[in-house]
């Protein structure tokens, strides 16, 4: 008589299998011998990789092999990737695209013979520190299905792999370009958008390109991928829709007939909808509501980074969202070797109004922004000395301070700092800029020094590859400024009074960054001279080089 307990044991074991014949056992061993590794299949059999078992059901692969439970919009992405060879996904921030991209890579790698998966993105940080790190974490946590993880979240009693899962084969290297490889020639590798030749040099009968931050990836990469699509290669692109041109943009517009597209708002994710953390790492209710108040629902940053929609009407912007995002993405890897420059946009001691902002830069990298309110003239000096004590290197050339001496506050701060520099030789060099002065570098193109400051900032970011830290206030200020064409043929940046109305504050951080990159012929990073004079008086410097210091930035 079978007891209830014994019956339950038998039920969980499933139906008994008849003993294999010698021929069946030999065939199974031969199949296992050609596989890269063998893991538990969950039904009493072994599994040889690659396996067609989850080829038509990648969602089951996510749940049963990776132990990942996708939310509804992730399920849509997974389904599109299975059924279509060209897919583009535009999204807001933190919707789970990295784990989706990694899961699709592992699904393809585990399901197809001679599978080759190629990650690409804008920077090495995006490829190695985000995508490749995510892949290693997913593999580390895999081997227990979703149901077993729910029963035992700590994994103390359920073996790895669990009775329903399998361990994925292959050796994983530390860097994406070294990749993950099996001993039967399947692989997952990653390259940055700068390595078009590496992307183009990959071939095979089962290719899958996964392009992250695709808005910022140059068309040269997509041209290389297109060459392999003739052999049936697949591609899926993920990105915030930051740029209104390029392959990713065209996938939603002129090439919409050739791509399956999906747009996902951060507001759709379970964490926001439930107002609590359902899935770690997705955008929180608090963050989205904070950005709603900070940006406003009509703001382009809200549309791009929350709603996952393309921002339009950027033609007149001095710096587009795409240019600003690229500058932020370059920041971790940007060069910080070179002379120390500090841009200072001072404000008065009231404490409730504008900020005094110090922007610290070396070469192509803004190192840090220091913003504070209510500083007296003496307090500006003390904060400057404190910042120099942190950032100045021993025995290096005197740092250059470039400050806006416009108005009574700017004039007093400039006078105090210059007097200090005069009595403390080699401490720092002071350059005063009056933004309302007539243009001194390109008079035929701009009316005022302030217009030249913005034009110079644009060139430093877009042409020279300058890098800035992520700062939402700075982002808005940089993006708010537009070019105004005048009857005299000269360009004018949006007046500060209008920016103040649009932003609800003065663009102090953007101004400080613009000042920090305002190099003159006498304060070039390789110059030994340190004259403490204003760089904007045309009678003193009639032949200033408009591109002074650019060769230093390109080092």
Q: Which domain holds residue 362?
A: 321-553
CB 121 within 8 A of CB 218: no
On whether both 257 and 362 belong to a single domain, the answer is no
Domain boundary among the residues 263, 280, 299 is at 263
What's the pLDDT at 489?
A: 84
Residue 289 in any domain: the answer is: no
What CATH number is attached to the domain comprising 102? 3.40.50.300
Q: Is the pLDDT of residue 26 over 50?
A: no
Residue 508 in any domain: the answer is: yes
Q: Is the pLDDT of residue 422 over 60?
A: yes
Q: How far is CA 1 from CA 5, 7, 208, in A?
A: 12, 10, 55
What is 434-464 written as a DSSP string? -TTSBPSS-TTTBSBHHHHHHHHHHIIIIIS
Domain boundary among the residues 240, 263, 286 is at 263
Q: pLDDT per residue over 4-18, tens digit each?
A: 333 333 433 444 444
Q: How many CB atoms lie within 10 A of CB 385?
A: 14
Rg of the chain on CA atoms, in Å = 29
Q: pLDDT per residue over 305-361, tens digit each?
A: 999 999 877 888 999 999 999 999 999 989 899 999 999 999 988 656 789 999 999
On whether both 245 and 360 belong to a single domain, the answer is no
Residue 127 in any domain: the answer is: yes
> If you count DSSP H runs as helices and E runs as strands, how many of each does the chain have, helices first?
22, 17
On whether both 343 and 444 belong to a single domain, the answer is yes
**What distance in Å separates the CA atoms of residue 503 and residue 505, rounded to the nearest whole number?**
5
At 410, the pLDDT band (50, 70, 90 cuts) reads very high
Helix (H) or strand (E) holding 363: none
Residue 14 in any domain: the answer is: no
Mean pLDDT computed over 241-261: 95
On whether both 384 and 241 belong to a single domain, the answer is no
Residue 152 in any domain: the answer is: yes
On whether both 256 and 166 belong to a single domain, the answer is yes
On whether both 59 and 205 belong to a single domain, the answer is yes
At 130, the pLDDT band (50, 70, 90 cuts) reads very high
Residue 2 in any domain: the answer is: no
Higher pLDDT pick, 103 / 546: 103
On whether both 258 and 396 belong to a single domain, the answer is no
On whether both 242 and 380 belong to a single domain, the answer is no
Helix (H) or strand (E) holding 123: none
Q: Is the pLDDT of residue 37 over 80?
A: no
What's the pLDDT at 313?
A: 73
Q: pLDDT per residue over 181-197, tens digit each?
A: 999 999 999 998 777 66
On whether both 465 and 385 belong to a single domain, the answer is yes
On whether both 329 and 228 belong to a single domain, the answer is no
On whether both 153 and 236 belong to a single domain, the answer is yes
What's the pLDDT at 523?
A: 64
Residue 166 in any domain: the answer is: yes
Is the Cα dihedral 305, 95, 140, 276 positive or negative? positive
What's the pLDDT at 9?
A: 33
Q: Which residues of 197-208 are buried (b: 16+ CB within 10 A; e: fewer)?
A: ebbbebebebbb
Share of the chain above pLDDT 90, in %: 65
On whether both 243 and 364 belong to a single domain, the answer is no
Token output for 155: 């994994």
Domain count across the chain: 2
Residue 4 in any domain: the answer is: no
Q: Is the pLDDT of residue 63 over 90?
A: yes
């Amino acid at each position: 008589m079978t007891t209830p307990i014994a019956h339950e044991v038998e039920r969980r074991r499933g139906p008994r299998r008849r003993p294999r014949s010698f021929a069946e056992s030999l065939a199974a061993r031969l199949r296992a011998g050609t596989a890269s590794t063998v893991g538990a299949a969950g039904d009493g059999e072994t599994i040889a990789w690659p396996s067609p078992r989850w080829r038509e059901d990648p969602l089951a692969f996510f749940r049963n092999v990776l132990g990942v439970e996708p939310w509804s919009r992730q399920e849509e992405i997974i389904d599109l990737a299975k059924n279509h060879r060209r897919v583009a996904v535009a999204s807001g921030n933190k919707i789970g695209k990295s784990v989706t991209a990694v899961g699709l890579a592992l699904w393809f790698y585990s399901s197809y013979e001679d599978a080759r998966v190629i990650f690409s993105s804008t920077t090495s940080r995006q490829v190695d520190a985000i995508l490749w790190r995510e892949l290693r974490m997913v593999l580390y946590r895999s081997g227990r299905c979703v149901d077993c993880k729910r029963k035992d979240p700590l994994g103390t009693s359920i073996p790895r792999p669990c009775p329903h899962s399998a361990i994925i084969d292959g050796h994983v290297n530390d860097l994406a370009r070294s990749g993950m490889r099996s001993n039967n020639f399947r692989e997952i590798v990653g390259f940055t958008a700068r390595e078009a030749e590496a992307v183009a040099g990959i071939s095979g009968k089962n290719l899958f390109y996964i392009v992250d931050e695709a808005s910022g990836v140059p068309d040269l990469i997509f041209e290389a991928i297109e060459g392999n699509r003739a052999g049936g290669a697949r591609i899926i692109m993920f990105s915030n829709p930051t740029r209104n041109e390029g392959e990713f943009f065209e996938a939603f517009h002129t090439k919409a007939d050739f791509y399956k597209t999906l747009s996902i708002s951060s507001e759709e994710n379970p964490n926001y909808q439930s107002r609590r953390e359902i899935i770690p790492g997705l955008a929180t209710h608090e963050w989205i509501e904070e950005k709603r108040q900070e940006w406003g629902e009509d703001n382009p940053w809200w549309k791009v980074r929350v709603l996952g929609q393309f921002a339009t009407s950027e033609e007149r912007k001095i710096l587009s969202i795409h240019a600003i995002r690229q500058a932020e993405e370059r920041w971790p890897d940007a060069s910080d070797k070179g002379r120390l420059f500090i841009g200072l946009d001072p404000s008065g001691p009231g404490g409730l109004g504008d900020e005094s902002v110090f922007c610290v830069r070396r070469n192509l990298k803004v190192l840090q922004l220091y913003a504070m309110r209510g500083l007296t003239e003496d307090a500006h000096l003390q904060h400057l000395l404190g910042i120099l004590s942190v950032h100045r290197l021993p025995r290096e050339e005197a740092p250059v301070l470039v400050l806006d001496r416009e108005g009574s506050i700017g004039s007093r701060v400039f006078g105090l700092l210059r007097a200090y520099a005069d009595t403390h030789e080699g401490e720092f060099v002071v350059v005063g800029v009056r933004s309302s002065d007539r243009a001194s570098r390109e008079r035929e193109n701009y009316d005022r020094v302030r217009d030249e400051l913005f034009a110079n900032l644009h060139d430093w970011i877009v042409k020279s590859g300058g890098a800035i830290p992520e700062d939402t206030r700075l982002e808005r200020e940089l993006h708010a400024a537009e070019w105004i064409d005048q009857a005299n043929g000269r360009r004018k940046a949006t007046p500060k009074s209008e920016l103040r109305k649009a932003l609800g504050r003065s663009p102090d951080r953007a101004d400080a960054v613009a000042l920090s990159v305002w190099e003159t012929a006498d304060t070039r990073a390789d110059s030994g001279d340190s004259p403490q004079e204003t760089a904007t008086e045309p009678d003193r410097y009639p032949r200033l080089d408009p591109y002074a210091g650019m060769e230093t930035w390109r080092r």
